[in-house]
Chain A
Amino acid sequence: MDTVRRQSLSVLVDNESGVLSQVSRMFSRKGYNIESLAVGTTDNPAVSRITIEVMANDQQTNLLCNQLRKLLPVHSVKLLDLEKSIRRELILLKVHTASNDACNRAIQIANIFRASIIDVSTTTLTIAVIGDAQKTEAIIDLVKEFGVLELVRTGMVALERGADTIYEATKEKGEFDYGKNVL
């Protein structure tokens, strides 16, 4: 309960300007650093889904969720159970490949991780890898020996396993079974 751990929040919001700033500001205002952030529209173009990861204990996270729910552009907030969720992130890595040998070994590593080589030049390889934190960290570690010139990541996106969705009414008490959030 009191241990600070990685928490993943899925937030449905209006797809309007200023909304991301409102949401992210809530975290800085309450003193949290956003560890990972991914935003994009859903199947409904008027609604975006934000996946946010922060380091916090359970109680702090519940308070954060409640604060988020008060924001008008926020439709719903789901605190994801990390054990029961699939989390994925896309990483692009530009690796320095000084020799043929380095190039070959980098390609081998990429193959082992089922990553794809998406760009190549005489001295570099760009690798795209999709995976959870464990997989992406592992490949970054391995290609370090060649020299990582650049790295970019999308931020974690996550969905619950199984049939549960964010739209469902299986809400904790104190969330929606009291009725709606009063404006």
Chain B
Amino acid sequence: MQMTGAKILLECLLEQGVDTVFGYPGGTILNVYDEIYNYGDKIKHYLTAHEQGAAHAADGYARSTGKVGVCFATSGPGCTNLTTGIATAYMDSSPVVFITCNVNENLLGKDAFQEVDITGITMPITKCNYMVRDVKKLADIVREAFAIARSGRPGPVLIDIVKNVTAEKTDFVSLPREEHASHGRLGALIRRASHDLKAPEPDLGDVEKLVEMIKNSKKPLLVCGGGVVRSRAHKEFLELAERIDSPVAITVMGGGGFRGRSPLTTGIIGMHGSQASNMACDACDLLIAVGCRFSDRVALEPQSFAKQAQIVQIDIDRAEINKNVEVDHHIIGDAKRVLQLINERVEPQTHEAWKDYVFSFKTETEYDTCSHENTLTPKQISDTVASICPEDTVVATDVGQHQMWVIQHFHYDYPGQLLTSGGFGTMGFGLGAAIGAKVGNPDKTVIHITGDGCFRMNCHELCTEQFYNLPVITIVYNNGTLGMVRQWQTLTYNGHYSQTTLDRGPDFVKLAEAYGLGGKRVHTVPELEAALKEALSCGHGYVIDCAVEIDEMVRPMVPVGGKITQFLVD
């Protein structure tokens, strides 16, 4: 049937089962938005306040549901506004398809109004990107883009379509998703020797070797990375940990990959890792990292990282093997499948003495509460939130001290429960991500944990929350400073608080009210409890502005490039 490019695009989204998209219209993408108008009953479009918010929302939607997120933007500033969101998704391997339009073919390269080379700009922050200049190739490219975004190590893909293609007509025949891999470009790509959509079946010899290593290990440590979350391998991971009775350290991206309340968890590992995690890492004789790339925030000093241990890396992306830390053994494959194969083969073990040693160190830092009369400690906030909100509450964070506190003190039980920008460290990620998560999980409570610095960056998305009636609860750790930077300035820059003190507006409660949402400023635990209860029952978005001491620090802390056990602060 003859259809315009814009209509083909939307038909392709339906083929993929997409019913939710985020975005922001503009001149070059008008034809697509005209079809979005016609497809309103099948595809729900969420209009954000800013393209960055739309990008984070699509990302948050993808992370929390495991589906591919979709985000639209126009040419020029529309798509450059996406870039921070694209990079955030790329660093954390989140599957999002970004669709932008560019100027007419005849204007390409003429520096036309709102023209920019977005495929060039996004080359290093996408798995791949496409520029569509021929309407006959559009359907094929969209099918390939979705397949690539979700397969293997997931990640963002960008499709840039020149405006005239969205208006031109060609024949379109709908194709069920299962058949995409055997048709067109995608089919050709897979028939070629080098690539496949399916993860490779793990090498059994490699698995046997690891099983043997586990058998010989007296002091094993498992590290749960973001790959466990992406692969939804939490059950298999828990089974392995319990079977071999091994302590489990969790990376920031691994939150939700291992049951946070399990007696085997040692807390997070790395720069702000718990004493138990970091000491275990230093003393273990076998470290098995699943879906973890040993970033500089985990393996701060690669040479001394787990120096007494044989290090084993399990990853779907072979380019990660030996990238940051040299490993003794590796298995390539999907975390879920690899863990299944190990679980089928490994003998149950007990490691009482080793666990006694590891858990003689603290898995969580205690905070002094008595010196605070009119402020809350980070631990008090997370404990109160944990005690009042449902156990399966989805938590989206921004970046900085509050992020570390809420990852350290809140327990995550399933993949997609914690949404945080661990790789790119994007301030302003949280609110958009929370909105996306709430859209994808309307029955779950979604809270957005932020600091006063981060919240100020993208708080305009409160209007999205209000308009679509998405009751997200924002909890601001308001310490009047860019806390993480101030912490470094305190510890390593002689207390020169250069441009980090935020002694300025706005009043977040009034801001929330201006957007038609509820808000409350709280200083004590009972006040916080009351505000949370109101937020949970009011049925609309709510901002709770928590007073936190300006000099509260994230503890423990290991300096950049330091040995993992050299705590700068305990």
- Residues of chain A whose beta carbon lies under 8 Å from any beta carbon of chain B: 18, 21-22, 25, 29, 59, 62-63, 66-67, 69-72, 74-76, 174-183
Contact = CB atoms under 8 A, between A and B. Distances in A.
Contact of B197 (A22, A178, A182): A182
A69 B317 CA distance: 11
Contacts of B123: 21-22, 25
A76 B193 contact: yes
A69 B321 CA distance: 14
Interface of B: 119-120, 123-124, 128, 147-148, 151-153, 189, 192-201, 203, 316-319, 321-323, 326, 330, 332-333
30 contacts: A18-B119, A21-B123, A29-B124, A63-B322, A63-B323, A66-B319, A67-B319, A69-B194, A69-B319, A70-B317, A70-B319, A71-B128, A72-B189, A72-B195, A76-B194, A174-B318, A178-B200, A178-B203, A178-B332, A178-B333, A179-B200, A180-B193, A180-B200, A181-B318, A182-B153, A182-B195, A182-B199, A183-B195, A183-B196, A183-B197
Given A66-B319, A174-B318, A75 B194 contact: yes
A183 B151 contact: yes
B119 A182 contact: no
B321 A174 contact: yes
Contacts of B194: 69, 74-76, 176, 180-181
| Chain A contact residues: helix, strand, loop or mixed | mixed
Contacts of B192: 75
A76 B316 CA distance: 19
B317 to A, nearest CB: 7
Contacts of B201: 179
Given A66-B319, A177-B203, 18 more contacts: A25-B123, A59-B322, A70-B317, A70-B319, A74-B194, A174-B332, A176-B193, A178-B318, A179-B196, A179-B201, A180-B194, A181-B194, A182-B152, A182-B197, A182-B199, A183-B152, A183-B195, A183-B196
Instruction: State the 7 A-B residue pairs at the shortest beta-carbon distance, nearest first.
Output: A182-B152, A179-B200, A180-B196, A66-B319, A178-B200, A183-B151, A182-B199
A147 to B, nearest CB: 41
A72 B203 contact: no
Contacts of B189: 72, 183
A91 B153 CA distance: 43
- Among A18, A29, A71, A72, the one with the most B-chain Cβ atoms within 10 Å of its Cβ is A72
A71 B129 CA distance: 11
B195 A181 contact: yes
A63 to B, nearest CB: 6
A183 B203 CA distance: 18
